[in-house]
Amino acid sequence: MAKQISIITFTGRLGNLIGYRRNGHHFLRSMPTIVRQTTATRRAAQRFGMASRKGALIRSAFSGRMDVRCDSGHINRLTCTLIPSAGMDTQSITSFRFNRHTGTDKFLHLAPKLSRNGILHIPPQQLPAYEGIDTLEIKVIAARIDFTTHRIVGTESAVLLVKTGESFKGAACDMDVPGTGTLVVVLQVRGIQDHIPSCNRKYFAADIIAIQPPQSQPQLRRKQIHPVQSSLNRLSDNITTTTSAQRLHPFTQRE
């Protein structure tokens, strides 16, 4: 290695030279002319490549739908979770947090459950009270991803507003995105005060809460719309609230 003694120092690659810093000093080394890989290193590189591609596909499916800031290390964390199985075991990313500082379990103590027919059930529960937060925005985002063809088949989302410190009667959300592929469901929760979302990372979360493998025969969705009978706030025309226990799209409040 050679020490950099010029006024302008650098790190990184420059031609066939690599600059790096060690113990406060800058050094240079040349790139190897031949890189010899063992069988183990080649397999490790293949696992990393496959995991990286699947992780990028998952991030792409949700990046345009999520409203929370991911932490700076979420890309590496997602890839590392997929590496052991070379991305084949997508179930391993269940409970993955896009914001590692806060999980959705902070806001919903009883976790939502995804049924086989694509209905996400949020159990009735008492919502905690938070200083400076009067409302929780609950958003469910579902993406159908075909990992075989490396494409995003479709996405859907639904939003519900609930008051903090009150009893939540539960809800059901139809997130069965049509098509073939793996269904990945993300639950996002944001704290809101006076209609303004909090910028504090303690009050927003986005977790992968369910993975549903491809079905042998995709089922057609049947949407039913009923008159609104609830006082819940609606953020879009896609939100429907009702006292009916039937399957609705996308949200049904349970009385």
**Any idea what the Cα angle at residue 85 is, between residues 157 and 57, rounded to 5°?**
35
The single-letter code of the amino acid at 3 is: K
Q: What is the model's pLDDT at position 202? A: 94
Asked whether residue 42 carries a pLDDT value surpassing 50, the answer given is yes
Mean pLDDT, the chain, integer: 84
Asked whether residue 224 carries a pLDDT value surpassing 90, the answer given is no
Residue 176 CA to residue 222 CA, distance in Å, equals 10
Residue 189 CA to residue 28 CA, distance in Å, equals 48
- How is residue 43 written in tokens? 């397999």
Q: What is the mean predicted confidence (pLDDT) over 153-157?
A: 95
Q: What is the model's pLDDT at position 34? A: 74
Q: What is the model's pLDDT at position 235? A: 36
What is the distance between the terminal CA atoms of the chain, rounded to a whole angstrom?
72
* Least confident interval from 125-129, 152-156, 235-239: 235-239
Could you give the percent of the chain with pLDDT greater than 90?
61
Q: What is the model's pLDDT at position 226? A: 36
In tens, the pLDDT along 104-139 reads 999 999 999 999 999 999 999 999 999 999 999 999
Q: Sorting pLDDT into bands at 50, 70 and 90, what band is 86?
A: confident
* Least confident interval from 46-50, 114-118, 156-160, 248-252: 248-252
In tens, the pLDDT along 211-221 reads 999 876 545 55
- Could you tell me the residue ranges of all domains in the chain? 1-35, 39-221
pTM value surpassing 0.85? no
CATH superfamily of 39-221: Immunoglobulins (2.60.40.10)
Asked whether residue 209 carries a pLDDT value surpassing 60, the answer given is yes
